[in-house]
Every structure is written in C-alpha cells, then in structure tokens.
Amino acid sequence: MYKWFCVNKLSLNIAKTNYILFGRYTHQQDVAIINNVTIQRVQATTFLGVLINESLNWKNHFNMVKSKLSKVASVIYKVSHCNDHSSMHTWGTLYCSLFLPHLMYCCEIWGNMYVTNIQCIILIHKRVIRLIHGANRWDHTNNLFYKYRILKFNDIVNNNNNIFIWYSATSIIVRGASHHITI
C-alpha cells in the first residue's frame, strides 16, 4: 500500500490513519502495517463528519448529533431569556445557522433510524421551535411549524431522501442518454 501511495505521488499521515472492520466477525485480531508502522484499529471513526462504527448502526453519530443539538438548544434558551421575540428574522437566522445544519447534515443516512431513537431529536427540535417563537413549554408545535414554514425532522429526512433519489435518477438518465447526444 505504501508503494502505491509513492507511485501515485500521494502522502499518507500515518499518525492520523486508522482502520475499521465492518461486519459480524469484528473480534478478529488483524494487523495492518504501512511502512513498518502498525496502524491502529478502531471500533468507530469519523469520515467526512459522520461517525461510523463497525456495525453500521449510526448510534455513535446519532449520540454526537443529539449532544450538539442539546448544546445549541441551551444557547438558544439563554438567548431567549435575554431578548424579546420581536425580530423573527433574527430568530430565523439563529435557527438556520446554529441548529439546522446539525439536523440536516447526512440525515438521509442516520435519520431513518427507529422512531424510538429519533424521538429525542424530535423533542429537542420542538423545544427549540417553542423557544424561538416564545411559546409556552406545553404548547403544541404543529401550528408553529406550519405558520413559520419550518419542516419537522421527519419531513426534513423525507425531503432529503427524495432529493437524493431525484439526483440519482436524473444523473442515471443523463449518463444513459449522453451517447445519443452529439455536438
């Protein structure tokens, strides 16, 4: 492997390199060595901001997202007690910049977990919507989501899945039809 990197003029930071085995038989003690350096085996690793574990069940990533969303919810809670709710544009910017990116990033992958797992994310989402709009703790959020045109978490996941499917289908069609087009 090291020779392949050298031939292709690529560099590999061996200190940051690790490997993971996927599947049932992860108890095996395989060893990876590159340039006489043993590569560390891990049970979970981060790839492009998504935590992947050896059983591919997304629990590690889900817990990370839940932790980040809880921290953002507490920041929004503190800000909501300092300011009035007169400027909805400011609150919308706060929601879209601090909360929504964590909720949306790769939710096509991890957002289709069991409802019991996703329920705490849905509750955090509802809590933030109530805080942003100055609603009471026990108020229903359906009207708030509808009034301010905010998608619920399940709708965000479904929307991103549909966009992914549409892009996949249209790129296949474009690739398949490209040999019919001549310029």
> Which band of pLDDT confidence, cut at 50, 70 and 90, is reported for residue 25?
low
Q: In which domain, by residue range, is 19 found?
A: 2-42
- Write out pLDDT tens, residues 35-88: 777 888 888 888 888 898 888 888 889 999 999 999 999 998 888 877 666 677
The predicted structure's pLDDT at residue 34: 78
CA 53, 66, 151, 115 torsion-angle sign? positive
The predicted structure's pLDDT at residue 98: 92
16 & 62 share domain: no
Scanning the structure block, which residue is given the tokens 């929004």? Answer: 76
Tell me how far apart the alpha carbons of residues 165 and 24 are, in angstroms, rounded to a whole number. 29
93 & 37 share domain: no
Contact 25, 55 (CB under 8 A): no
* Residue of 71, 61, 67 lying closest to 111 (CA atoms): 61
78 & 7 share domain: no
71 & 149 share domain: yes
Q: How large is the average pLDDT for residues 115-138? A: 89
| Residue 171 confidence (pLDDT) above 60 | yes
The better pLDDT of the pair 138, 87 is held by 138
Determine which of 109-123, 127-141, 145-159, 169-183 has the lowest per-residue pLDDT on average. 169-183
Tell me how far apart the alpha carbons of residues 167 and 171 are, in angstroms, rounded to a whole number. 6
106 lies in some domain: yes
The predicted structure's pLDDT at residue 116: 84
Amino acid type, 22: F
69 & 34 share domain: no
9 & 83 share domain: no
